[in-house]
Each structure stands twice: as structure tokens, then as C-alpha cells.
Amino acid sequence: MLKAKIHVFLKPSVLDPQGQAVTNSLHSLGYDAIRETRISKYIEIKFDENDEEKVSKQVHTICDKLLANPNTEKYAFELEAVRD
């Protein structure tokens, strides 16, 4: 069994209003050294499959078609062997 650990994040050129709101709140709490906050998504998917190449292709397809907007987001993932 393999688990995909997927991070979907905004491209650096895309404004992150949610991240800016968090930065502003942190500044109001006295954390003045914080320059920027970016919000991202973390997703885990377990596969009943042990073929890393096959699962990797599936994860790319899933991210491209569903999890990440190619216009504004990028993604990265790693695969991990797991026991059920």
C-alpha cells in the first residue's frame, strides 16, 4: 500500500488574501518579524497499490484534473509505503 502526501500551493506570483489576513493578525499579536504567510492545502491519499511508478502517474493526473488549478497553483508530492 502506498500513501501520497500532496501539497497544493499558490504560485509565487498569485496574491494570497487568506495568507495576508493571517500575516496581519500575527502582526497585531506582536509578531512583527513575520514578512509573509502563504496558505496551502495538504492532502493524503492511500492506494491499494505498491507500484510507485503507476501511483505517481495517477497522483499527477489527480492533481492536474482535480486538486490543483494549473492557472494559479502548483503541487508537489511524495509517496510513502504504509501498512494497513
Q: pLDDT by residue (tens digit) across 27-38? A: 999 999 999 999
**Which pLDDT score, from 0 to 100, does residue 36 have?**
97
| CA–CA separation, 73 and 84 (whole Å) | 32
Q: What is the pLDDT of residue 84?
A: 72
What pLDDT sits at residue 22? Answer: 98
Tell me what pLDDT residue 64 has.
98
Q: Considering Cα of 84, then 67, then 75, then 7, what sign does the dihedral take?
A: negative
How many CB atoms lie under 10 A from the CB of residue 82? 11
**Residue ranges per structural domain of the chain:** 2-81
Question: What pLDDT score was predicted for residue 59?
Answer: 98
Q: How far apart are CA 84 and CA 69, in angstroms?
A: 31
CATH for 2-81? 3.30.1280.10
Residues lower than pLDDT 70 in the chain: none
Report d(CA 9, CA 39) in Å as an integer.
7
Helices (H), ranges, the chain: 17-28, 52-62
